[in-house]
Amino acid sequence: MNSIAYIAGTAILAGAVIMAFSLVFASRIVAELPLGPVRRWWNVLRALIVLFILGYGASIPLLLLRGAGPVHLVMGTMLLSGAVFVLLVCRLMLTTVSDVRRIAALEVENVTDPLLGIYNRRYLEQRLKEEVSRANRYGLALSVCIMDIDHFKRINDSYGHPIGDEVLKNLGNLLRNKVREVDLFARYGGEEFVMILPNTRAQEAIVLAERLRKAVEDSRIVVESGGRLEFDCTVSLGLTTATAGKRESRQLLREADQALHRAKASGRNRVEVFTAQKQAA
């Protein structure tokens, strides 16, 4: 066995070891990725890395047994360099994937209410501006509904805020499962929720709001906290619809809020629709 063969074999062996580290990084990348074509391609890359490792390992005995010349030394150096390149690519991609997932998680936290897991007020106001702009541009109807839990303060005062939070969570889940996929459901603040109903006229919005009101009225909210607590809750809803003409997001929220106050003043557990005539009265 000559020295060139030994050096070339050592380089190839080092390349195989480095490829093994690359396989570890590639496997971690696959674990980070969601199901889909990108993950499938990374599985293909993992299989290729395994084949490379086998090829590296098979070439070493042949090299040592038959001897080698300067060409084999160059080949060993190139294989080692290729392994280093694959390792760097996999390591950088793992860092990139982790950063993307972390940024995506931060973005979700930025638009999500931490207690209820639904959209928060910041995202609501952003989306409402976008929907108003789209409705104004294409002449579409747009409805906005504000919902408030009736007498929620009594629950907090009688059972404490932790129980009140559990009631909010249960109601939030109930309502989220009742809204349409095209609608946006968000927590506006406290025990108030807002729904944005794109391309929805007044009569359709009234039907949807009544369906939600009835769903809450017919449901019993159960909280397990050192015992079973059951609550019968109702909600009041204020509704407004933007039709033809320029409208602003703040104006729609203000109108829906005024209709909500009228619903609460009229006995609660009801839906009120904003009209200029009713507001004037």
- Which positions are catalytic? 191
Tokens read off for 195: 């729904």
CB contact set of 148 (below 8 Å; sequence gap of 6+):
191, 192, 193, 235, 236, 237, 260, 264
Cα(135)–Cα(251) distance, rounded to whole angstroms?
14
| Residue 235 three-state SS | strand
Cα(24)–Cα(118) distance, rounded to whole angstroms?
37
Strand stretches in the chain, DSSP E:
142-149, 184-189, 192-198, 220-224, 228-232, 235-242, 271-273
Tokens read off for 199: 């391309």
CA-angle at 162, arms to 160 and 163, nearest 5°: 70
